[in-house]
Structures are given as C-alpha cells and as structure tokens.
Amino acid sequence: MDESKVRREAERVLKELSEALGEISLEETYYVVEEINVTRNDAEPELNPEFRKAALKIAPHKDEEGYYIAEMGSWV
C-alpha cells in the first residue's frame, strides 16, 4: 500500500468535506436516542462457561495458565 498517497488523499478529503460543511452554531447531537440514566441493577453476576475457552482459542499469544501474553514493558 502507498501510505503517503493515502495520507495525501486524506488531507484533500478533509479539506473538501470541511469546506462543504461551512459554519454553524447549534447544540451538538451526540445521541439519536435522547435517553438519560439508562442504568441496570447490580444483580447476581453471570458467566458464560463457554466464553473463556472460545476467547482464548483465538488469542494469538497466551500461556497454559490462561494469561494473554502481550509485549513486555519498554522500561523494564
């Protein structure tokens, strides 16, 4: 992939979209569903016993104890 081409195009896309938009002063709409306080009760915990196995199966790096293995910290 030509990454510099992607970047160049991205700049042009942003410029054109931004110009097409123009200026405005209105409230921002973050949510289409205008709800507040959508909460749930702290009920009894649930666990799907199949999940762990399925999740670890697709993990690229893990150990026999069931830890995921990520990179080591750069400062240690």
Which residues touch 52 (CB under 8 Å, ≥6 apart)? Answer: 66
**Rounded to an integer, what distance in angstroms lies between the CA atom of residue 53 and that of residue 19?**
50
Residue 15: CB minimum distance to other proteins, A: 10
Residue with tokens 């999940």: 51
Which residues touch 63 (CB under 8 Å, ≥6 apart)? Answer: 69
Residue 66: CB minimum distance to other proteins, A: 5
Residue 76: CB minimum distance to other proteins, A: 5
Binding site for other proteins (CB under 8 A): 1, 3, 6-7, 9-10, 12-14, 16-18, 20-48, 50-52, 54-61, 63, 65-73, 75-76
